[in-house]
Amino acid sequence: MPASSSPRPVAYLDHGATSWPKPEQVVHAVTRALTELGGNPGRGAYAMALAASRAIFESRRTCAELLGVPDSRDLIFQPSCTAGCNLMLKGTLKPGDRVVVGSMEHNAVARPLEHLARTGVEVVVVQGDRTGLVDPDDVEREVRAAPTRAVVCQHASNLTGTIQLIGDLADIAHEHGALMLVDGAQGAGHVDVDIRVLGIDAYATSGHKGMLGPQGVGLLYLSPDLDVQTQVQGGTGGGGSESPDMPIERPDRYEAGTANTPGILGLGAGAAFLITEGARQHRREAELARQLIEGISTIPGFRVLGPPAGAPRVPIVSAVHDRVDADRIAFALDRTYGIAARAGLHCAPWAHRTIGTVDCGAIRLGIGWGNTGEHIDLALRALRDIVSS
């Protein structure tokens, strides 16, 4: 099937990067923010500004309901998951601290830790296996070896789709007096997240991937017992403008500057959609991922990365071919077949080193809301044609 001249893909399979299209409710919420709630939230007592503040409050509460956060004030809006990871790491770790981290981390964690290592934080990396799973026993061995401030691990891999055993890791961390800090960029929206069940101390996530919100917004949960030092100071929606210090109350303490009202309302709408449709969506994504894995596995020369078909994973499927490089495959998928997919290292060189693909990268197909079995069938036909030509 030849590609259309339009930039709109025939099949969008890059949900690991960002979700598209957005549910109608999300589009409506963003539009409402831009057309009806243009006032600056928390910065005025006139009706439009107050309405914007109220809408943000409702979005925060909806996101807290989805993620199992008991008190929505502990849920901080961020410009991105990367910003949230920087805050939870740099606001928690200091020179002399020791942190144990899995080897599958995205650069949103790896690069802040590299920065912190230069300041005197000891970073101990625990290797995952060939599917990307980090063994809790290996983590416990390292945590027991020396006093440890924190265990850091992603919820799910943006390369292999592997879901880490976050609850087990949190138990290990807390048993030895350490914090459990999680990068949930690929988790929230694709798997059930209940902060109360996981028992973690911090959870950063993207707003625009599985959560279905617009780009430019993220979330960070901080345990009420965790004192994270602010990294940005400035104006907030709270009172006390005469003070030179940031307010101590949450969430104002961590939300300096004008809020991204369109992004936050869109994120709230995405969370509301998932509260009602999430279980059905998760089943559909799992079935499509299984269909894709089984199909790719029948094409000569391909090796699918991560857990096997039917095993728990988020709906990300990556593969390598023994003859055709990933960049060429992605180019042909786009230009010839109108399929949006991503090739390369996916901002996760640690993960590629772990599974042995750092020298070649991989072709990644990310499944999400709006995908159908027809999209998967089209992708499989295209992959088969590309590597046989």
Q: Give 227-255 as a DSSP string.
A: -PPPS--S--SSS-TT-SSPPSSTTGGG-
Range of the domain at 91: 25-273
Cα distances (angstroms) measured from residue 257 to each of 64, 77, 148, 236: 22, 11, 34, 6
Domain end position, chosen among 273, 304, 331: 273
Same domain, 244 and 320: no
Same domain, 249 and 315: no
Would 2 be classed as within a structural domain? no
pLDDT at position 215 over 70: yes
Residue-wise pLDDT for 293-347, tens only, equals 999 999 999 999 999 988 999 999 999 999 999 999 999 999 999 999 999 999 9
Same domain, 301 and 251: no
Domain end position, chosen among 273, 291, 322: 273
Helix-then-strand count for the chain, H and E: 11, 13
Same domain, 60 and 17: no
pTM of the model: 0.95
**Which SS3 state, helix, strand or coil, does residue 124 take?**
strand
Domain count, the chain: 2
- Look at residue 64 in the predicted model and tell me its pLDDT: 98
pLDDT at position 12 over 60: yes
Residue-wise pLDDT for 114-162, tens only, equals 999 999 999 999 999 999 999 999 999 999 999 999 999 999 999 999 9
pLDDT > 90 in the chain, percent: 87
